[in-house]
Amino acid sequence: MRAAVYFKHGKPEDVLQAVEVEDPKHPEHNEVLIRVLLRPVHHGDLLGISGRYQPGAVVPKEGVRVGFEGYGIVEEAGDGVDLKPGTRVAFFPGKGAWSEKAIVSAEYVTEIPDDVSDEAAAQLHVNPLTAALLLRAVETSGAKPGRDVLVLTAAGSAVARLLIGLLLDRGFDVVGVVRREAGVNELNVVFPDLPVVSTDKPGWQENVISAADGHPIGVVLDPVGGETASAAAGLLAQGGSLVSYGDLSGQPISVSALYFSTRDIRISGVTVGRWASLPVKIRKADLKLAIELAAGKPELFPVEKTFDLADVGKAAALVEMPGKTGTVLLSSY
């Protein structure tokens, strides 16, 4: 079978390649062998390939198989698993998702209803679950609908679009921040009444304050870091929270120490990498929400482009380009 592998850290489009590897063996107790058909390419996947998570780590001679999320068909179920061959499933986390076959713990395999498309199923976990984690972070912050304004940077991203929908449904006032003026119009197609500000114009911070219309900015949700997060943190009201969930810029967040001592600004972080360790009850509720979103709001699961697994390097290059309005998928139908 084919699998996406890298043998050294580096620029993902340069070091990723699809190679022939041995098929996995039969699944053991509580495991599922899945023929993977689609898998999303996330920026977080590319950080690992470039060595950002563990700088200086040695890549084993046999290389590293990539990916943790995918969609496919059950090929074989191990003992104790109530899934029949041919069942449509999505999974996360599961190692080697960018392979044509993967063995995944049944605990992290989700059966897909008929009213969810293959493309939405491929995006069922990482993005919606991140949105669910961020929603809980907002609730934990103490922000209240009708009182506090929430600011989302990179508001045109897949995660942000899902989260905006959840927040608006719960009565929160939201201001989106994007980096291109074209992104304002693209986001307003999905959310016509959403105030959206572009950072490519000077004084964008004042435009965010104006959009807040006198209400305190209680939470900033940011996957960018660098100058964008630093500037957005300066807009927070007394006791406000900056919630970080990514590092798209690759640059540190820099804020004055006085933000903490005199304004009680708080910084916290969210990552879907810790989702699998949450209590089963919470994970089930998150998955129920994800399936409801995929079935009821398919417009929030757009696909930018689908590449064959052989073109994994091209897919990675597109993920790192600005201006996307959907998720990049890898296919092996």
Residue-wise pLDDT for 102-133, tens only, equals 999 999 999 999 999 999 999 999 999 999 99
Are 324 and 207 contained in the same domain? no
Same domain, 157 and 79: no
The verdict on 142 and 69 lying in the same domain is no
Query: Are 101 and 135 members of one domain?
Result: no
- 111 and 16, same domain (yes or no): yes
Please report which confidence band the pLDDT of residue 6 belongs to, taking 50, 70 and 90 as the band edges: very high
**140 and 164 in a common domain:** yes
With CA atoms as reference, report the closest residue to 14 among 258, 326, 314: 314
Phi and psi angles of residue 268, each rounded to the nearest 5 degrees, phi first: -140, 175
Phi-psi region of 60 (alpha: psi -120 to 50; beta: other; left: phi over 0): beta
* CA–CA distance, 106 with 56 (Å, rounded to integer): 34
Among 123, 1, 6, which Cα is nearest to 69's?
123
Residue 292 domain flag? no
Residue 162 in any domain: the answer is yes
Q: H or E stretch including 268?
A: strand 266-269
Residue 119 belongs to what domain range?
Answer: 2-123+301-331
List pLDDT tens digits, range 183-205. 999 999 999 999 999 999 889 99
Could you tell me if residue 217 is inside a domain? yes
* Amino acid occupying residue 253: I
Number of independent structural domains in the chain: 2
* pLDDT attached to residue 56: 75
Residues 108 and 133 in one domain: no
113/216 same-domain check: no
Residue-averaged pLDDT of the chain = 95
- pLDDT, residue 101, reads 98
27 with 41, same domain?
yes
With respect to residue 193, please indicate whether it lies within any of the assigned structural domains: yes
Q: What is the CATH number of the domain that holds 235?
A: 3.40.50.720
Instruction: Give yes or no: residues 101 and 153 share one domain.
Output: no
- pLDDT band with cut points at 50, 70 and 90 for residue 308: very high
Report the pLDDT value the prediction gives residue 316, as an integer from 0 to 100. 96
Q: Specify if 283 maps to a domain.
A: no
Residue at a domain's end among 253, 272, 291 = 272
In a domain, 277, yes or no: no
Asked if 19 and 112 sit in the same domain, the reply is yes
Residues 6 or more apart whose Cβ sits within 8 Å of residue 114 = none
Assess if residue 45 is contained within a domain.
yes
**pTM: predicted TM-score of the whole model, two decimal places:** 0.94
Rounded mean pLDDT, 141-149:
96
CATH code of the domain containing 327: 3.90.180.10
Distance CA(100)–CA(275), nearest Å, equals 25
In 25-152, alpha helices (H): 43-49, 118-122, 126-141
Same domain as 319, residue 200: no
Q: For residue 57, give the amino acid letter.
A: A
Say what the pLDDT of residue 321 is: 87
Take residue 33 and report the two structure tokens written for it.
Answer: 């062998």
